[in-house]
Amino acid sequence: MTPSSPWHGRSLLLAGAIVLVALNLRPALSSVGPVLNEIMAGLDLSAAQASWLTTLPVLCLGLFGPLAPRLARIVGTDRLILAMLVVLAAAIALRGAHTPLALFIGTAVGGLAIGAVNVLLPGVLKRDYPGHAVAMTGVMTMAMCGGAAVAAGATVPLMNRLDGDWAAALAWWVVPALIAIVAWAPFALRGKRGGKAGGVLPVVGLWRDKVAWQVTLFMGMQSSLAYCVFGWLAPILRDRGISAVEAGLMVSVSVLCQLPTALVTPSLAGRARDQRLAVVLTQCGTAIGLMGCMLAPLSLIWGFAVILGLAQGASFATALSLIVLRSGDSHIAAHLSGMAQGVGYSVSAMGPLLVGLIHQQTGSWGPVAGLFLAIGASALIAGLGAGRRRTVGARVEGHASTA
Residue 131's CB is within 10 A of a number of other CB atoms, namely 12
Give 236-298 as a DSSP string. Answer: HHHHTT--HHHHHHHHHHHHHTHHHHHHHHHHHHHHSS-SHHHHHHHHHHHHHHHHHHHHS-G
Q: Which residues of 53-62 are buried (b: 16+ CB within 10 A; e: fewer)?
A: bbbbbbbbbb
Please state whether beta strands 395-396 and 203-204 pair in parallel, antiparallel, or not at all (unpaired). Answer: antiparallel
Amino acid identity of residue 265, one-letter, is: T
Quick one: pLDDT at residue 399? 53
What is the mean predicted confidence (pLDDT) over 218-244? 90
CA–CA distance, 334 with 342 (Å, rounded to integer): 11
Does residue 9 surpass a pLDDT of 80?
A: no
Question: 397 by DSSP, 3-state: which?
Answer: coil
Quick one: pLDDT at residue 191? 53
Q: What is the H or E stretch that residue 340 is in?
A: helix 330-348
Quick one: pLDDT at residue 197? 41
Does residue 229 surpass a pLDDT of 80?
A: yes
Q: What is the H or E stretch that residue 167 is in?
A: helix 166-171
Percent share of the chain, pLDDT over 70: 93
Residue with the bigger pLDDT between 272 and 158: it is: 158
What is the mean predicted confidence (pLDDT) over 43-66? 81
Residue 288's CB is within 10 A of a number of other CB atoms, namely 16
375, 225 in Cβ contact below 8 A? yes
The residue among 352, 327, 363 whose CA lies nearest residue 239 is 363
Quick one: pLDDT at residue 196? 44
133, 326 in Cβ contact below 8 A? no
pTM over 0.85: no
369-379 pLDDT tens trace: 999 999 999 99
Q: Mean pLDDT lowest for which of 42-46, 62-66, 69-73, 158-162? A: 62-66
Sign of the Cα torsion 379, 210, 322, 272 reads positive
283, 383 in Cβ contact below 8 A? yes
The top-scoring range by mean pLDDT among 1-10, 38-47, 161-170, 246-255 is 161-170
Does residue 192 surpass a pLDDT of 60?
A: no
Confidence of residue 288 (pLDDT cuts 50, 70, 90): very high
Does residue 312 surpass a pLDDT of 70?
A: yes
Percent share of the chain, pLDDT over 90: 41
135, 6 in Cβ contact below 8 A? yes
79-137 pLDDT tens trace: 999 999 999 999 999 998 889 999 999 999 999 999 889 888 877 887 888 777 777 88
CA–CA distance, 74 with 93 (Å, rounded to integer): 28
Q: What is the dihedral of CA 314, 317, 280, 337, to 10 degrees?
A: 160
The residue among 77, 109, 254, 256 whose CA lies nearest residue 174 is 109
The angle formed by the CA atoms of residues 324, 320 and 87, to the nearest 5 degrees, is 110
| Residue 295 CA: distances (Å) to CA of 78, 146, 289, 291 | 45, 27, 10, 6
**Which residue pairs, CB below 8 angstroms and at least 24 apart, start in 140-143?**
140/18, 140/19, 140/22, 140/320, 141/22, 141/262, 141/263, 141/265, 141/266, 141/313, 141/316, 141/317, 141/320, 142/258, 142/259, 142/260, 142/262, 142/263, 142/313, 143/18, 143/19, 143/20, 143/22, 143/23
89, 174 in Cβ contact below 8 A? yes
Sign of the Cα torsion 287, 234, 296, 265 reads positive
Quick one: pLDDT at residue 199? 57
CA–CA distance, 377 with 51 (Å, rounded to integer): 23
